[in-house]
A and B are shown apart, each in its own frame.
Chain A
Amino acid sequence: MIADNGIVIAFWLLAATTIGCALMVAAVRELVQAVLFLALTFVGAAGMYIVLSADFVAVVQVLIYAGAVSVLMTFAVMLTPAADRRNSETVFQVPALILAGLVLAIVVFVTLDTDWAISDRGAFSATAASLGEAFLKPYVVPFEVASVLLMVAMIGAIVLTQEDEVPPRRQEGE
C-alpha cells in the first residue's frame, strides 16, 4: 500500500493518460497518429513504473519503447502504402470487443477476489545496482540468451528487408 497523496495522484493521472492514449490507438483513423499515441502510452507506462519504484525499468522503457520501438514503427508505417494507413478494423471487430471485455471482467473479478500476500517493505531504494548484480549473478544465463536472441533478431530483420540483388541461383556463365 502506498499512502502518499502526491504519489497516488500522480499514479492515477499517469494511469488515465496511459489508458486514454491506448484507447486513442484503437480509435484514431490514421495509423501515423496511432503510432504517436502509442509512444505517449509508453511514456505514461514508464511513469507508472516510477510510481511502482522501478526506476531502472522506467528508464529502459523510455529508451527502448518510447525511443526505439516508436521510431521503428513510424518507419514501418512510412514504408507501407498510404492507402493502407486508415487503421480500420476487420470483420473480427465485434468478437474482439466481446473477448477483450470478457478478459477485462474476468481479470478484474479475480484481482478483487484474491487475498494477496501484501508485503509492507515499502519502496525500493535505487534499483539499478541490485538489478545489475541480479543480471550478472543468478540470471547470467538468461541474460546471455537474451543478448543472443537480440542479435539473431537484428540479423533476421536485416535479412528479411534486404533487396534481392544477388540472384539465388547462377544459371548463366557456368
Chain B
Amino acid sequence: MTTPLLALTLHLEDVLVVGAALFAIGLYVALSKRNAIGVLMGVELMLNAVNVTLLAFSRFIESEQPLDGQVFAVFVITVAAAEAAVALALAVAIYKHRETVNIDEIDLLRW
C-alpha cells in the first residue's frame, strides 16, 4: 500500500475558526466605523460568518435532516437582503435631512 504524498484533511473546527475570524472582523467593523454604511458592511460580514458556520454544521454534523442548515442559510440571506435595503434607504434619508451619515453626529435621541 502506497501512502499518498500529501494527505490534507479539513475538519469542522477549521471551518468554524474561519467563521469566527470573519465574525470578529465584522464585529470590529460594525462597532468602530463612523460612517453608517461602514457599520452596515460590518453587519453583512457578521451575517456571512454565520452562514459559513451554518453550512459547516450542515455539512459535518450528524443529523436526521442535514439540509436544514442550508435552508436556514437561505433564510438568513433573504433577511439580510431586506435589512440591507432598509438600512441603506435609512442612510440616504438621514443624509437628506441631516446632511451627514456619521453615526457620532446623529444624536437626536440622546438625552
Q: Which residues of A contact B (CB under 8 A)?
A: 1-3, 5, 7-9, 11, 15, 18-19, 22-23, 25-26, 31, 34-35, 38, 41-42, 45, 48-49, 51-54, 56-57, 60-61, 64-65, 68-69, 72-73, 75-77, 79-81, 84-93, 95-97, 99-101, 103-104, 107-108, 111-112, 116-119, 121, 123-124, 127, 130-131, 134-135, 139, 142, 146, 149-150, 152-154, 156-158, 160-161
Contacts and interface: CB of A to CB of B under 8 A. Distances in A.
A157 B85 contact: yes
A49 to B, nearest CB: 6
A31 B38 contact: yes
Interface of B: 4, 6-18, 20-29, 31-35, 37-38, 40-42, 44-45, 48, 51-52, 55-56, 58-63, 66-68, 70-71, 73-75, 77-86, 88-93, 95, 99-104
Given A79-B92, A123-B59, A157-B88, A61 B77 contact: yes
A56 B72 CA distance: 12
A100 B31 contact: yes
Contacts of B70: 54, 56-57, 127, 131
Contact of B21 (A35, A104, A158): A104
A116 B88 contact: no
B108 to A, nearest CB: 16
B31 A150 contact: no
A100 B27 contact: yes
Contact of B71 (A92, A93, A135): A135
B80 to A, nearest CB: 7
Contacts of B4: 5
A71 B38 CA distance: 15
B78 A150 contact: yes
B35 A31 contact: yes
Contacts of B79: 146, 149
Nearest to A89: B32
A118 B77 contact: no
Contacts of B102: 84
Contacts of B14: 11
Contact of A97 (B16, B22, B32, B48): B32
